[in-house]
Amino acid sequence: MFGDLFKRLTAPDPAPLSVTDARIALGVLLVRLARSDGSYDGDEIAQIDAVLMQRYGLTDAEAANLRADCEIAEAEAPDTVRFTKAIKEAVDYDDRIGVIEAMWSVVLVDGVRDRHEDAMLRMVAPLLGISDQDSHKARLRVTPA
């Protein structure tokens, strides 16, 4: 179902992502992050939906449908390293910062900084071309007060 997207993303010189493909790519990363600790719970699902609604102006139902597609796509997606490097090539820096902010918001939604989620973010940020400092700033921007 998502094979064409992954083929385009992992091509030697990927074109910029379409709006639809960018939504799927972000959603896949969020789902993969949320699942990385072995617990994919309602708080994380609700936060992913909230990110998708806010970022793309979707309704509750549209965000839930997109997330459900992303859950399917996540199972088909290439390994995290190749997938993330491909996103780096196809997405502008400011949008990649937004991806890191969205990822931190999913990590922090349950109030627990799980070591698996932290490890995934430490791996993904540099693969997206985001420095530790910018990732830290992104985390501070989305940390609940």
**pLDDT tens digit sequence for 3-22:** 777 777 777 776 777 778 88
Q: What is the pLDDT of residues 88-117, one digit of tens each?
A: 877 889 989 999 999 999 999 888 888 999
Q: Are 105 and 51 in contact (CB under 8 A)?
A: yes
| Res 81: pLDDT | 83
CA distances from 100 to 39, 121, 132, 140 (A): 20, 8, 11, 11
Domain ranges, ordered by start, for the chain: 18-142
1 closest CA partner among 104, 70, 85: 70
Task: Give the DSSP letter of residue 3.
Answer: H
User: Residue 121: which H helix or E strand, with range?
Assistant: helix 115-127
Class of 18-142 per CATH?
mainly alpha
pTM, to two decimals: 0.86
